[in-house]
Structure 1
Amino acid sequence: MNQLEKVYGKDLNGFLESVKKPNSRLYVRVNTLKATVDEVLQSLQEFEKDEDFPEAIYAKVRGPNKLESLESKVIVDKKTAESVMLGANVYPPGIKKIISEGKSVEVVSENGITVANGELVRLPGGKFMVKVYNSLYSSPKLADMKELKEGKIYVQGKASMYVARIVDPQPGEFIVDMTAAPGGKLSHIYQLEPRAKIIGFDHTYKKVDKMKHLLKKMNVDAQVFVHDSRYLKELGIKDVDKVLIDPPCSALGLRPKVYDKKTRIDLMNLQAYQKQFLNSAYEILKKGGKVIYSTCTVTETENEEVINDPRFEIEYIIRFHPQVHDMTGFFIAKLRKK
């Protein structure tokens, strides 16, 4: 709370209230390597064009909707509750407890917030799911859309779309995405400039495998590898033009939240980890090369205190605040290696 107060001062309550709600727009990025925006809009008629980015389209998020209070309740974990709040169904891994089985149920987060009403369905094998028919907020169910399955669209918030624009890829540039999974920002960079040489890394085989499938589906001709990006120098990578660092962070800017729990120690541990990526970027960049550093959090500990590094010149910083910009809380900085 002290960290948040440092950033928001008297507007702290405004920030805390805003992260309990979703953004008023649900964004997807049209993958123009496979479809035009107009083609996608013909089939996704709830969506409309964004004012700033030609590849961005959005649907309005409606709510809060009135929910019924019912005796039968399904208690779900934090991640499930935050998805269900926007209309997703409940699947067995997210269920913590069922109180009084009934056909219609109230879906409640583990900290007591009602997020939806739905129908309790028994699955083969005796497990349950909930088909949600009324959620606190409503938006199109993206998971079922064939355009998503075909790689014609990618679910990406508008704040996140700024990152590739700030990377500003140019033909022939050598660009490294240090923390590329799940592949959204990397595929966006390639979409903006397919003539750049782009490679991405993640330290887990499973994530890299998923990324490879995604990039193939999206017609993105970029390579991704399994490696810990804190040690890229050992692979002989050098003279890089631009490095994207989107490191693990406390995600305090993500919304909607039913709750969040982070300590000062968590933030300090994350900062130490984030600085290691910046050290690695310094080693592989050519002189005058650029780092684009982004997080979906709002603390100075994970943002300004990480990038205030005498080896780099800060070209500019952009911050998005949920209560001001109606977007995910987000930080983006562009740095130049001295």
Structure 2
Amino acid sequence: MLRIKYSQDLLNDLMRYFNPAFIRRMLHSLAVPPSRYYLRVNTLRISREELIARLRRYGLKVFPDEVLKDAVYIRVNNVPQEVPVSKYTIVADKHAAESVMMGANLYIPGIVKFDKDISPGDYVTIIDPKGNVVAWGRAVVGSDEIRSKQKGIAVKVMISRYRVVSLRDLDEYKKGLFYAQSYPAILTSHLLDPSSDDIVVDMCASPGGKATHLAQLMGNKGIIYAFDKSQGKIERLKENVIRLGIKCIKPIVHDSRYLHIDYPWLKADKVLLDPPCSALGVRPKLYEEKTLSDVLALAEYQKQFLKAAYAILKRDGILVYSTCTMTPHENEYVVKYAVRNLGFKLLSQNIFVGSYGIPINGIDHELLQRFFPHLHDTPGYFIALLRKS
């Protein structure tokens, strides 16, 4: 089994807040997927009960979540499988390899390196940049097409280290009846609790999971300005908006750190900020290379988004701040900055199923919600709810 390692400076910093046994269990959990694979039901198109019934016809073990009424989950066998080794090898980038490890097909944009003489129909082994074997399958295209094309399936995965059914092939996926999303991410939008006449801003919206969920909670009414900084990210968001049948989202290419400057007219009732972070809580992961200096730089970056969020919110407007990481620098200390330096006020969260935040001076850690992979069987995650005062 893989064992995830953090850099020594990052480990030393985390040991200021967690004991070594806690960290060991946490790192062990990051190498395997949660036992529940969550889907958000698109209640604009189907009821939860009907979606469960339709998915069960494929033999899937699908269950309703106990707390979130628009969430279902599929049981995952998180015991790793043996993966065959073939004559031909393809190297996938880290992000693609971590998806393929769960049974997703390998797409051409995720390929880093490949053998020269692969032909369609050949069996290939897929590895990550560190040489870890993640999957085995049949090539859909040959080496020449991999080299010349920019998109499309390269390998149909047949055996992966972990196995979740390839949901993208189902009619229910194509018809936009669900969106695959982690449990804490689904919870995040519920905590913002938008109404149908709200003006909402999602500051870092791609690929659109939270923005489309907010639209669903708003009954496809109101307006959601969904920003991201690159055209490619916005195109990915648009694909999900179209697939899910969302009408109230306005996708915009822009760096959200400057919304208050470049969109001075923009005043929001509610803002969702899930900024770029170190992603140390994402699971399953193959390896981790970020250092403490990366984390500290990201924390300063995140504060820039908070400044803009405060400026574009109406008086008494609500902000939800979330990350998929576990460092206090990107979580509790960023929230402390928002409270002390910007004037936000922390609010209680009406759905609380995780753990309290880390105690630090200056903020009430019991108003913060954390998820730890080894305690909650989820990705590592952090949520804060704040009001502009």
Q: Check whether TM > 0.5.
A: yes
Q: How does 1:26-37 map onto structure 2 within 5 Å?
A: 26-37=37-48
- Residue equivalent to 2:368: 317
Is 2:330 the counterpart of 1:283? no
Is 2:85 the counterpart of 1:57? no
Q: 2:244 aligns with which of 193, 199, 218?
A: 218
Aligned CA distance change for structure 1 residues 271 and 176 (closer, same or farther; 3 Å): same
**Aligned residues between the structures:** 338
- Residue equivalent to 1:334: 385
Q: 1:96 aligns with which of 110, 113, 116?
A: 113
Deviates more, 1:197-206 or 1:9-18: 197-206
SS at match of 1:230: helix
SS at match of 2:383: strand
- Partners of 2:245 and 2:145 lie apart in 1 by 41
- Partners of 1:72 and 1:3 lie apart in 2 by 43
Q: 1:115 aligns with which of 130, 134, 146?
A: 134
- Partners of 2:311 and 2:106 lie apart in 1 by 45
- Residue equivalent to 2:96: 80
- Opposite residue 232 of structure 1, the aligned amino acid is L
- Partners of 1:286 and 1:214 lie apart in 2 by 29
Kindly provide the CA deviation profile for residues 204-254 of structure 1, in whole angstroms up to 9, marking residues without a partner as x: 223223323422332322222222211222312354222111101111100
Contact residue 105 and residue 119 of structure 1 kept, 8 A: yes
- Residue equivalent to 2:210: 185
Shift of 1:99: 10
Contact residue 18 and residue 323 of structure 1 kept, 8 A: yes
SS at match of 1:308: helix
Kindly provide the CA deviation profile for residues 54-79 of structure 1, in whole angstroms up to 9, marking residues without a partner as x: 21111111142431554635252322
In structure 1, stretches of 5+ residues that fail to align are: none
Q: 1:269 aligns with which of 292, 297, 303?
A: 297
User: Alpha carbon RMSD of aligned pairs, Å?
Assistant: 2.5
Contact residue 83 and residue 159 of structure 2 kept, 8 A: no
Kindly provide the CA deviation profile for residues 144-193 of structure 1, in whole angstroms up to 9, marking residues without a partner as x: 12222222111111110011111011242222111111111111112112
Q: 1:148 aligns with which of 173, 177, 185?
A: 173
- Opposite residue 286 of structure 2, the aligned amino acid is V
Shift of 1:105: 4.6
- Partners of 1:69 and 1:134 lie apart in 2 by 8
- Partners of 1:295 and 1:242 lie apart in 2 by 17
Shift of 1:92: 4.3
Aligned CA distance change for structure 1 residues 113 and 159 (closer, same or farther; 3 Å): same
- Residue equivalent to 1:5: 15
Q: TM-score under structure 1 normalisation?
A: 0.91
- Opposite residue 64 of structure 2, the aligned amino acid is K
Shift of 1:51: 1.4
Aligned CA distance change for structure 1 residues 190 and 68 (closer, same or farther; 3 Å): closer
- Partners of 1:191 and 1:131 lie apart in 2 by 33
SS at match of 1:210: helix
- Residue equivalent to 2:353: none
- Opposite residue 331 of structure 2, the aligned amino acid is N
- Partners of 2:103 and 2:53 lie apart in 1 by 23
In structure 2, stretches of 5+ residues that fail to align are: 1-10, 148-153, 348-366
- Partners of 1:8 and 1:62 lie apart in 2 by 29
- Partners of 1:132 and 1:240 lie apart in 2 by 44
- Partners of 1:68 and 1:184 lie apart in 2 by 31
Aligned CA distance change for structure 1 residues 224 and 107 (closer, same or farther; 3 Å): closer
Kindly provide the CA deviation profile for residues 78-134 of structure 1, in whole angstroms up to 9, marking residues without a partner as x: 223211211123344425244997955543333232323334565383659443322
Contact residue 179 and residue 247 of structure 1 kept, 8 A: yes
- Residue equivalent to 2:158: 133
Q: TM-score under structure 2 normalisation?
A: 0.79
- Partners of 1:224 and 1:121 lie apart in 2 by 33
Is 2:191 the counterpart of 1:166? yes
Aligned CA distance change for structure 1 residues 106 and 67 (closer, same or farther; 3 Å): farther
- Partners of 2:74 and 2:250 lie apart in 1 by 32
Deviates more, 1:89-98 or 1:130-139: 89-98
Contact residue 104 and residue 119 of structure 1 kept, 8 A: yes
Q: How does 1:192-231 map onto structure 2 within 5 Å?
A: 192-194=217-219, 195-220=221-246, 221-231=248-258
- Opposite residue 55 of structure 1, the aligned amino acid is D
Aligned CA distance change for structure 1 residues 83 and 305 (closer, same or farther; 3 Å): same
Aligned CA distance change for structure 1 residues 280 and 135 (closer, same or farther; 3 Å): same
- Residue equivalent to 2:260: 233
Q: 2:55 aligns with which of 41, 44, 49?
A: 44
Aligned CA distance change for structure 1 residues 191 and 92 (closer, same or farther; 3 Å): closer
- Partners of 1:36 and 1:305 lie apart in 2 by 40
Is 2:331 the counterpart of 1:303? yes
Q: Percent identity?
A: 39
Contact residue 72 and residue 101 of structure 1 kept, 8 A: no
Deviates more, 1:131-140 or 1:192-201: 192-201
- Partners of 1:138 and 1:209 lie apart in 2 by 28
Contact residue 297 and residue 330 of structure 1 kept, 8 A: yes
